[in-house]
Structures are given as structure tokens and as C-alpha cells.
Amino acid sequence: MFPKVNFIGNKEKIADWISEYFPKDAQSIFDAFSGGGSVSFQAKKMKLKVISNDILTINYILAKALIENNNEILDESDIDTIFEGNPIKGFMYKNYSNKFFFPEECMELDLYRKNIDKLFSEYKKAIALALMRRSMIRKMPYSRFNITWEKVCQLRDEEYSYQKYKRKRAYHNNTFKYHFLKNLEDYNSAIFDNGCNNIAYNDDVFNLLNKIKADIIYLDPPYAGTMNNYFSFYGLIDEYVKCKKKNPFENNFTDKNSVLLLFDKLFSNLSNYRYWLLSYNNNSYPPKDELFKIINKYSNNIKIIEKQHDYKITGKEKKKQNKEYLFVVQNEKY
């Protein structure tokens, strides 16, 4: 089963539905904007060879842990290694004390980050970082890192939160170790071998389109017009992983002025793929008819499938009615 990742804009609830439209003759898929990895995971279960990619390093690490990794898990001695020693003053303490976490919590994160590097393999390190991500997200109000420290303190004040929202949100004040251990079993048991040599990448999609070959390319880019600034949500975790400050990425599909050109550039570069599947919805820019026209420049074989999909906007405790579209395009070159 897919573990609790909690990724904004994930397709976890509709991954089954999306996968119904994977053409039956396909044996491989390139999930080019893999995010939390829910569609890659579904494809892995279906025994497709999965190539995952995301520009965020932590999403690449998630794919490395859960998609590329076919058999390594974290055992008790790994856990002892990750949590041994005393908190230290490192990158998080110096840069993010009283910004997202309290100073002593930053020092714990610094210790765990250093200890994770002592683990024996790349896959073990990836699982450990994926679990550390999960712990950081659980402790962070609204589960994203573009919240002011004032708001963080308010929402981590259990009495205030109870008075105002009738919820104590005590989980924000549990330790990183508590959350890590609580999720460990779920992450370990999500690791399985589907008999394929799956691969994770960490690159701008435009650097890979002509290098990677697969039967299907699945496209789930950020949507202009919705909550979409992934660097602001999760860039902090990339900085934790790398222990250095990072700049926001380009080509991020968030800007209404450039998104039409980016979509055109994307579809003009898909000759390596027989089938193009694109997730889209009715709140995004450009509207689906305009997007259709762009894709239509490159193929006349386009189907649009619709589904009602309710999703929760983090931070606003409400559900928004959303119509989900799946463009299924056949590349006429094949």
C-alpha cells in the first residue's frame, strides 16, 4: 500500500482511475512530474517499468525509496544509527531556528541528517530522508513551508488552536522521532519488487524528454491558477537534504504569461513516447479547450476523459469541487 506521503496536488485518490487508461500494450511509463509518487507507485504495482522524475530533490528521493528501490528496508540497527548521539548545531539550526522549527528541534534535525549519511546504502538513506520529510511535514502547520513563524507558533499552541479551531493539533508538537517511527512500518512495507529496473531522476523535465524512452509519458505539471508554487511548499526540505540554501526553479508552470509557451514546448518534444497522458482540471489556466488546441498541433488523436474529484486545499479547511480531466493522446508517428 502507498504510505502516507501528504503531497499537495497528489493524485493518490484517482491513481486507480488514471491507470485504467494506461494502454494495454504499454510496458513502460515516464512519470515526468512525479511529485509524491502516487502514479508511479500505481504503475509499479501494474508491473510497468517506471521512470520517475521531479525537479524537487525530495520528490526524487521519495521515488528512489519507493519506486526505484525494489528490496531494501530500514532495520533496527539502521534506526539506532539514525537516532544515536546528541543534537548538534548545523545547517538547520543556523538558518531556520525560529523560522519553521524551534532551535532545539533544528538541532535534532541536524543530528539525524548527519547520521543518515552513515547508513550503508543509497536506498536506506532515501527511505530515511523520506521518513524525515514525513516527520517535518507532520510537525508543520498546513503541511507546507510558506507559513510565517508567527502563524506556526500560534498553531502549535495547543490551547489557542483548540479555542479557535476546536482542534489541538498535538501532532505538531510530537517529536520528529515519534513521527518517523510511527510511519516506519508503512514505508518499509510499501517497498516491493515488480520485476523491473525502475529509475528515479531529479531534473528539469525539459532536459529529459529527448533522452528517455518509454511507451507512456504521464504529465501532471503544476497548474497555473491553483496552489502551485512547489518550491515554496517544499524547497526547505531540499535545503535540509543538501544542507545548503537553494534558489527556486525555473520552468515551473506557475506563471500565466509563460504557461502557454511551456505547454507548447512540452508537446513539441514528445516524439519518444507513443502515448501521452496528461492530468488537468477545470480550475486551471489555460482552460481545457485552449490546451486541446495546443496539443492538437501535434496529434489529431486526442480523447478527454472527465471525472468529479473533490480535493482538500491545505490551510483552508474546505473541499473544493473539482472536475478532473485526463487527456489521452496517441502519437500518430507510431
Ligand X SMILES: C[S@@+](CC[C@H](N)C(=O)[O-])C[C@H]1O[C@@H](n2cnc3c(N)ncnc32)[C@H](O)[C@@H]1O
Verify binding: residue 36, ligand X, rule CB under 6 A. Answer: yes
Question: Which x/- pattern, by CB under 6 A, does the window 293-332 give for ligand X?
Answer: ----------------------------------------
Q: H or E segment at 118?
A: none
Nearest approach, Cβ of residue 128 and ligand X (Å): 20
Give CA–CA dist 328/301, Å, rounded: 8
**Does the footprint of ligand X cover residue 33 (CB under 6 A)?**
yes
Distance between CA 188 and CA 169 in Å, rounded? 26
Q: Does 264 bind ligand X (CB under 6 A)?
A: no
**Contacts with ligand X, 266-285, as mask; x by CB under 6 A:** --------------------
* Other beta carbons within 10 Å of 195: 9
* 251 belongs to the binding site for ligand X (CB under 6 A): yes
By CB under 6 A, name the one of 221, 227, 274, 311 that touches ligand X. 221
Task: Print burial letters for 81-105: b (CB count within 10 Å at least 16), e (below 16).
Answer: bbeeeebbebbbbebbbeebbbeeb
What kind and span of H or E run contains 58?
Answer: helix 57-63
- Cβ count near 279 (within 10 Å): 21
Find cell 543518515 and name the residue: 116
Instruction: Provide, rounded to whole angstroms, the least separation between the CB of residue 319 and ligand X.
Output: 18
Least Cβ distance, residue 112 to ligand X (angstroms):
24
The smaller minimum CB distance to ligand X, of residues 10 and 81, is found at 10
d(CA 100, CA 141): 9
What burial letters (b/e) apply to 45-54, b meaning 16+ CB within 10 Å?
A: beebbbbbbb
d(CA 131, CA 6): 12
Residue 235 interacts with ligand X (CB under 6 A)? no
Q: In this complex, which beta carbon is closest to ligand X, that of residue 112 or of residue 145? A: 145
Among 19, 57, 59, 115, binds ligand X (CB under 6 A): 59
Asked if 42 is part of the footprint of ligand X (rule: CB under 6 A), the reply reads no
Per rule CB under 6 A, is residue 133 in the interface with ligand X?
Answer: no
Residue 79, SS3? helix
Pick from 127, 222, 281, 309: which binds ligand X (CB under 6 A)? Answer: 222
User: Residues touching ligand X: how many (CB under 6 A)?
Assistant: 24
Q: CA-to-CA distance for 283 and 253, rounded, in angstroms?
A: 14
Binding site for ligand X (CB under 6 A): 7, 9-11, 33-36, 38-39, 53-56, 59, 204-205, 220-222, 230, 251-253
